[in-house]
Amino acid sequence: MVVYINEIFKYVGQEVTLRGWIYNKRSSGKIQFPELRDGTGIIQCVAVKNKVSEEVWEKIDRSAQETSVIVTGIVNKHPKYDDIYELEITNYEIVGESKDYPITPKEHGVDFLMENRHLWLRSKRQTAILRVRHRIIKAIRDFFDNKGFTLVDAPILTPNACEGTSTLFETKYFDLGKAYLSQSGQLYAEAAAMALGKVYTFGPTFRAEKSKTRRHLTEFWMVEPEVAFADLNDNMDLAEEFLEYIVQTVLKDCKKELETIGRDTSKLEKVKRPFPRISYDEAVKILNQNNINFEYGNDFGGTDETVISSQFDRPVMVHRYPAAVKAFYMKRDPQDPTKALAVDVLAPEGYGEIIGGSQREDDYDILLERLREHNLSEDFFKWYLDLRKYGSVPHSGFGLGVERTVAWICGLEHVRETIPFARMIYRIYP
């Protein structure tokens, strides 16, 4: 009977077959202890020389790290520890040899590991991170699906930018001119929200800015909900509930993975509503009180975000930014037209912005004026203007970057470990 390691507890006392790779191996005289991984877990196998054939013993003996094997044996429970099981080997077959595997238990530099990312993924820490990523993505989908949102797939190739073309990847699109890799699905989500009420887009997005920080990738995944008849406060309520759900779900379902990564989960346990909400002006006061040289009217940089968020033990929502530093589509505050009805959610522990959102401008004439102010083509945005022409309503939405969220929840130093194959300005291999 072929089984997976994560289900091994069901088969104590029975003979089963496992298929996987040699994770590690040690021996003690007439006993060999190959550790087997199969993608669902790792188990120690035991081979006693006088209980297996010479052929089996020799195959185990020459099985190097990452040799693929099929192992049959009796499942035994550890006499002292719960959830620890061993496989007493009765038969052993080598499927694929592995010689001179480059990633050994010794320390390797980051450049070497990234160059061998296709193999680095097999390590215990990296598989744990990818499982957490998987659970975060499932939590994202579950949250919106359970709240009656409809998933809408936005195009990746677009004829224009959301916020100007300076940070976009450009390509030729047949005889129609230039096309760009999408930096956001938001504009299309707005159109869909006018049809379906509550929607979200979820897919890869691309930014061509030449950033080398630990928070930036050139290709990353983003989820973007958009809600008709929602104002900025509704938007903040949704973002708050959303983040709490993601974090608490991962804490419940990924205890082993977070332990493997070495995450201090006590800090994540505090991520519960309500989140502090402060205005841009209040955030600037925090910077001034902490002797940060910040020019009022600018957007916050990484250091600024870290200082602001360090004042709180959970995500902080910063709202009403200067309109001049925000995108053309953000509605201005009727109480203070110099401010945009925007919100950024800053994660604690120095992980920066993980959500950026706003109430959208719903007035046709004002939006047309904003396009002209930003020197954006009215022809390209005609369809977007139409949304304000035919039954416009107040509406709001935000975007959450998956990789930054994974980095924060896992407590990772760099965002490059949050995605199977990171794309950065200096790396496109493997």
* CB distance 20 to 34 below 8 Å: no
Paired with 77 in beta bridges are 85
* CB distance 33 to 25 below 8 Å: yes
End-to-end alpha carbon distance in the chain: 37
Instruction: Write down the pLDDT at residue 281.
Output: 98
Question: Using CA atoms, how far apart are residues 215 and 211, in angstroms rounded to an integer?
Answer: 9
- In terms of Cβ atoms closer than 10 Å to its own Cβ (0-12, 13-18, 19+), residue 238 is buried
* CB distance 297 to 324 below 8 Å: yes
Q: Thinking of the domain 5-96, which architecture would CATH place it in? A: Beta Barrel (2.40)
Instruction: Write down the pLDDT at residue 336.
Output: 97
Q: Which residues contact 18 (CB under 8 A, 6 or more apart)?
A: 2, 3, 4, 5, 8, 36, 38, 43, 70, 71, 72, 73, 87
Tell me the one-letter amino acid at 118.
H
**CATH of the structural domain 117-418, one choice from 3.40.50.2300, 3.40.50.11260, 3.20.20.70, 3.30.930.10:** 3.30.930.10
Instruction: Write down the pLDDT at residue 165.
Output: 57
* CB distance 69 to 36 below 8 Å: yes
Domains 5-96 and 117-418 belong to one CATH topology:
no
* CB distance 205 to 182 below 8 Å: yes
Instruction: Write down the pLDDT at residue 149.
Output: 99
Task: Output the six-digit token pair for 418.
Answer: 């949050």
Instruction: Write down the pLDDT at residue 57.
Output: 97
- In terms of Cβ atoms closer than 10 Å to its own Cβ (0-12, 13-18, 19+), residue 156 is middle
Domain boundaries, the chain: 5-96, 117-418
Instruction: Write down the pLDDT at residue 162.
Output: 63
Instruction: For the chain, 430 residues long, give each residue's pLDDT as a single digit of tens.
Output: 999 999 999 999 999 999 999 999 999 889 999 999 999 999 999 999 999 999 999 999 999 999 999 999 999 998 888 889 999 999 999 999 999 999 998 889 999 999 999 999 999 999 999 999 999 999 999 999 999 999 999 999 998 766 655 689 999 999 999 999 999 999 999 999 999 999 999 999 999 988 888 889 999 999 999 999 999 999 999 999 999 999 999 999 999 999 999 999 999 999 999 999 999 999 999 999 999 999 999 999 999 999 999 999 999 999 999 999 999 999 999 999 999 999 999 999 999 999 999 999 999 999 999 999 998 889 989 999 999 999 999 999 999 999 999 999 999 999 999 999 999 999 999 9
